[in-house]
Amino acid sequence: MRAPTARSTNHHSLLPFADATNNLPLMPSSSAAPATHRLRLWWRRLGRRGATAASVAALLAAAFFFLALSPDASAPATSAPSYGHRLPALVDLTLVDGAKEKGAVCLDGTPPGYHWLPGFGEGSDKWLLHLEGGSWCRNLTVCGQRKKTNLGSSDYMERRAEFVGILSDDELQNPDFYNWNKVKVRYCDGASFSGNVEDEFQDGTSFYFRGQRIWEAVMRELLSKGLSRAKEAFLTGCSAGGLFTYIHCDDFRALVPKASTVKCLADGGFFLDVEDISGRRYMRSFYNDVARLQDVRKNLIRCSSDMEPGQCFFPREVAKGISTPMFILNPAYDVWQVEHVLSPEGSDPERLWENCRLDITKCDAKQLETLQGFRRELLDAISDFKKKKDWGMFIDSCYIHCQSMNPLTWHSPSAPRINNKTIAESVGDWFFNRREVKEIDCEYPCNPTCHNTVLSRPYKEA
C-alpha cells in the first residue's frame, strides 16, 4: 500500500511522519539531500538562539518545504533532515536470537527485530526504548495483508533505520537523551505487542499472534546487553506503540528494578472511546475485533467482566492502574483519530468530511465546532491524570499525529511550542524533575508554531 502524501500549513513545512495506519514512512525522496544539507548548515549557524527567532524559523521551514519535499512523499528516502551537527545515525536491524524457539515471532513466523544504538559518555548506563507504531489488524484478511509488509514480517523490514527526534544522538536535536542507549523496537504482531494465541492456525492458515512473547523476548535480550544495569530508563512509543506503552509501563518498571528513575511516554497513543459523526462508536468496534482475534483481554488486568474487551483497550481505562510516572504527548486534533475515530468513511457516506479530514483549514464552521468538541473529550479523558503530580503532558493544538520521532516537531528552530517550550524541552524538564509539566494548548487555530498536516489522499486501514 502507498501512504498518502503529507505536507503542512500554518508557517511551517512538515517532515512527513510515519503513517500510523500502515507505517509506510512518508519521507522526502533522495533528491532532497542537498536541501537538507543546507538546512543543517543554517541550524549550526543559528545555534540555540535560533530556536526563538520566529522569522528565521519560518524561513527555514519554508525553504525545507520548497527544496526538500518531493512530489511523491511516499517515495523511498536515503536521508531525513537532521537539525544538528551531522547526518542521522543509521542503525542496523538485529533479529532476536532464539525467538522462533520461544514462539516469539511476527505474524508470518519470522523473528522480530530491533535497532540498538549504544550510549556513550555519561549516557552509557541509561536506556531509552521506543516502540514503533502502525495501527492494528482486526481480522484475518487484514492480518494476511500485513504478513507481506514490515508490519507483519521481519523479511520486509529495512535493514537500517535512521535515528532522529527522540532517538537522535545529536545534542542539538535531542539535548537530554542524545548520549543514551537507544532502541527502536519493530512492530510486527498487529495488536500493540499484547496478543498471545497458542494455536498458529486460523481457518487453516498460519498466523502467529504472539506480540506479548515478542515483547518478552526483546526485553530478555536487551537486559542481557546492559539494560539490567541501567541507572535510568525511559519507555516510549508512537501511535499503536504509544498504546503499548500505557499497557506495559509498569511491567517495564518491574524489569529494571535497579534503575533509580524509570518513566514512560506515549506519543499520539491516547485514542478516544467516543461517538463518531454518525453516533456510533467505530473505534470501540474496531478494538473489540482486535482484542478477540488476538486474545488481548488477559493482558488488560483492569478489564471487568461487564466491559467489552475493546473498551479495556483504550488508554483512559488502561492508564487508571499505572503507578509508574507517565507523560502524555498528544495533539488535541490528532489527524489519524479525526479520520478513523471521529469521521470514518463508513460514517460519512455523503463524503461531507472528506476535505476536512485531509486539511483542517478546509473544515467549515460546523465541522470545526465538532473538532473543538473532540478536543474537549480528550481534555476530559486526561483530567484525572493531570492531577497526578508525577505525570506530565504536552497537548498542543496541532493537526498531526506522532511528534517525538520527527526532527522538526521534536526539537528544531521551527518546532511547535507551548509557553515557548518545545516538546523535547518539556519532556526533559519533566523527566529530570526540573519543573512540573502540564502543558495544555489553547484551541485551534491559536498556535502559530503548529505543524498541521495536509494529506493528498485519505489514509487506508491496515
Instruction: Give dist(CA 154, CA 175) in Å, integer.
Output: 32
Coil, strand or helix at 415: coil
Choose, from 176, 334, 396, 441, the residue flagged as catalytic: 334
Beta strand 181-185 pairing with 113-117: antiparallel
Beta strand 205-206 pairing with 89-95: unpaired
Structure letter (DSSP) for residue 155:
G
Report residue 264: phi and psi, to 5°.
Answer: -135, 155
What is the full DSSP assignment across 251-300?
HHHHH-TT-SEEEEEEES--------TTSS-HHHHHHHHHHHHTT-GGG-
Amino acid at 385: F
For the question of residue 401 being annotated catalytic, the response is yes
* Upstream peptide bond of 88 is cis (omega within 30 degrees of 0): no
For the question of residue 334 being annotated catalytic, the response is yes
Q: How many residues does the chain have?
A: 462
Choose, from 79, 153, 192, 239, the residue flagged as catalytic: 239
- In 64-191, beta strands by DSSP E: 89-95, 113-117, 126-131, 160-163, 181-185
Phi/psi region, residue 153 (left: phi>0; alpha: psi -120 to 50; beta: rest), is beta
Choose, from 401, 412, 426, 451, the residue flagged as catalytic: 401
For the question of residue 239 being annotated catalytic, the response is yes
Q: State the catalytic residues.
A: 239, 334, 401
